[in-house]
Amino acid sequence: MTGEKLKMIIAGNGYTMASAARLLEMTPQHLNQALNAADVKSGLLEKVSAAFGISIASLYGETPGVAITGSGNTTNGNDTATVNRFLSIIEEKDRQIAQLLQMLAK
């Protein structure tokens, strides 16, 4: 599982990276590092599964082309516009988190 896919799942469930980090009892910086790894650790996948109330199988896409959202709706995981929208939201939130971390470090 890639971090990019997990970021899409998190955003698809209506969470920012900061709110997801709080839910997972992690710092936003630690979550960002975990999601930027070449391969996301299974322990993080288990935490995400439990926190968001979704199965690990759905994280791995064992339900073809479907991602579960927090509202109970499903969306086609192959919808390019949706993926691009989620990625732009995630990039903006990551930028905001980086700015906040810089301000906190001062």
Model confidence over 61-73: pLDDT tens digits? Answer: 654 334 444 444 4
The predicted structure's pLDDT at residue 79: 60
CATH match for 3-105 among 1.10.260, 1.20.1630, 3.30.70, 3.40.50: 1.10.260
Global confidence as pTM: 0.54
Model confidence over 23-52: pLDDT tens digits? Answer: 999 999 999 999 998 888 888 988 988 888
Residue 41: count other Cβ atoms within 10 Å of its Cβ: 11
Model confidence over 93-103: pLDDT tens digits? Answer: 888 888 888 88
Beta bridge partners of 75: 67
**Domain boundaries, given as residue ranges, for the chain:** 3-105
The packing angle between helices 3-12 and 80-105, to 10°, is 100
Beta bridge partners of 74: 68
